[in-house]
Amino acid sequence: MEIRNQKDFGAGLMYMVVGIFFAYLASQYQMGTPAKMGPGYFPFWIGVLLAAIGLLVLIKSLSAKAAIEKIPAFNWKIIGLITGSVILYGVLLPIMGFAFAILVLVFTSAYASHEFNWRGTLVNAVVLAASTYLVFVLGLKLQFPLLPFFFQ
C-alpha cells in the first residue's frame, strides 16, 4: 500500500491517537449505562468515535482514488508567531488590559498569514475585542483589566 495523501494520513493518525488516548483516560472512570451514564461514559464514546473517524480518514488516504498530496515543509516562523502571540496575550493582559492584549494577539497571529492585510486585521481585532467585552465582562461579569494599568 502506498500513502497517496500524506495530509489525510497524518490527520487520521492524529485523530486515532487522540481518540484512543481519551477513550483510555475515560475508561478509568465509572462508565454506567446508557440510561444512567457515569462520568466516563460520554468521553469514552466520543474518544471511540474520534478514533473511528481517524481510521476512516487514514484508510481513505491509502485508496487509489485519493488525491496525491504531500505534507509541506514545517514553517517554524509561523508556529513561532502564533505561539508567541498567545504568550504575549497572557503576559500583556494583566498589565495593558484586554483591549490592547487582543490587538497584539490578532496582529501578531495575522502577520503569520501569507494574506496579511492590516485593514482586515484591524476590523477583526476590534470585533473580537468588542465581542470579548460583551460576552465576558458584561455577560458573564468577569473581572478583566480593561485598560492599561496607568489609566486605572
pLDDT value for 106: 94
Report the predicted TM-score, pTM, of the whole model to 2 decimal places.
0.61
Q: What does each of the 152 residues of the chain score in pLDDT, given as a tens digit?
A: 677 888 889 999 999 999 999 999 999 999 888 888 899 999 999 999 999 999 999 998 888 777 777 877 888 999 999 999 999 999 999 999 888 999 999 999 999 888 888 899 999 999 999 998 899 889 998 888 888 877 77
Instruction: Please state, in angstroms and rounded to a whole number, the distance separating the CA atoms of residues 84 and 100.
Output: 15
Residue 69: strand pairing partners:
5
pLDDT value for 12: 94
Q: Count CA within 13 A, CB hemisphere, residue 134.
A: 6
Q: Are 43 and 26 in contact (CB under 8 A)?
A: yes
pLDDT value for 91: 94
